Amino acid sequence: MDNTKKLLKDYYHVDITSMSSQQGGWASLAYKVSSNQKSYFLKVYEKKRASTAKLTALIDKYVPIMVWLVHNSKLKGKIPVPLVTRGGEYKCEDEHGIYMIYDYIEGYTIGDQDVTEDQVRQLSEIIAELHLYSEDIPVETDGIKEDFDVPFLQSLRDIWNQRRCNFPNDVWNLVSPHIQQMEDLMHTIETLGQRLRNSNVRMALCHTDLHGWNLMQSEQQLIVIDWEGLKVAPVEADLMFLIDKPFFQEFLNIYQKTHHNFSINPDALQFYQGKRKLEDIWEFLEQLLWDEQNEEERVSTLNHLQEELKTLGK
């Protein structure tokens, strides 16, 4: 706690008196830190993790867009933005990690719970509002614009073509029966990417990680959190998380009050569904091959990888 206390004092003029771990995602650690005046939410991206560099590379690209949305759209109070440091930055760092601090939101994460009718309505209104905005906003968006290139696909091919002898046996035994399925899906994604690159598909600001663990209920308000993946992309990058949900038609009916005559682009939907499946597999492999994990963490990651591999043919 002492190192964190000094860091928050130096960068934010915050004197913390307590610090407690919170439920975080796989991407970062999370803490509630409190001073005598108020509480804050602290996200810590550990530098020892292979995923940290890509998750934090675009902070200075996506946060200014969120700040603009808070001040120029109906999303104020529905999306969180980080506090700025004494130097006006959206993050700070030391040798161990990269840190972002937010006002603390009192509430709970939806997670795997069933969503209520009111939560569906609010979620649809939030996403419909977000999708009104694209690269024409007066904030730089080039750094987060979709180009339909999927560079991690080559990394996937490389690790089983070049590193198979270095795979831990349990990981290789899990992955090797599914390599042909992954190769087939990668070919499909690359073909769809090229087709979409040459099309006039409409793009808008998208969250790109819309699942229950990124939704919070705070009193009567639904809040969408964890915006590392903010992108100018086809809206299917968001809708692909919802299309198989039992409430999707209700969501769509509300969404179409803002986006009249909207219909799903099947190529974009298939692209993002396949890309997400392969991306999850790649990220679990990254953790198993390069991250420092204890035995419990490793078993959990292996189980997650196994579940993803099982769904490849579905």
Q: What is the percentage of the chain residues whose pLDDT exceeds 90?
A: 84
**Confidence tier at 2 by pLDDT (50, 70, 90):** confident
**Confidence tier at 163 by pLDDT (50, 70, 90):** low
The order of strands in the sheet holding 108-109 is 108-109, 215-218, 221-224
Domains of the chain with CATH codes: 1-104 (3.30.200.20), 110-314 (3.90.1200.10)
For 91-136, how does the pLDDT look when each residue is reduced to its tens digit (9 = 90+)?
999 999 999 999 999 999 999 999 999 999 999 999 999 999 999 9
**Confidence tier at 22 by pLDDT (50, 70, 90):** confident
**pLDDT for 288 beyond 80:** yes
36 by DSSP, 3-state: which?
coil
For 227-269, how does the pLDDT look when each residue is reduced to its tens digit (9 = 90+)?
999 999 999 999 999 999 999 999 999 999 999 999 999 999 9
Residue 165's pLDDT is 64
Task: Tell me the two tokens of residue 275.
Answer: 């890309």
Which pTM value belongs to this model?
Answer: 0.94
Secondary structure (H, E, C), 27-57 = CCEEEEEECCCCEEEEEEEECCCCCHHHHHC
For 44-102, how does the pLDDT look when each residue is reduced to its tens digit (9 = 90+)?
999 988 889 988 999 999 999 999 999 999 999 999 999 999 999 999 999 999 999 99
Residues 6+ apart with CB under 8 A from 131: 204, 205, 206, 235, 238, 258, 259
**Confidence tier at 24 by pLDDT (50, 70, 90):** low
**Confidence tier at 174 by pLDDT (50, 70, 90):** very high
**Confidence tier at 25 by pLDDT (50, 70, 90):** low
> Can you tell me which residue has the tokens 């600001």?
205
Higher pLDDT, 313 or 173: 173
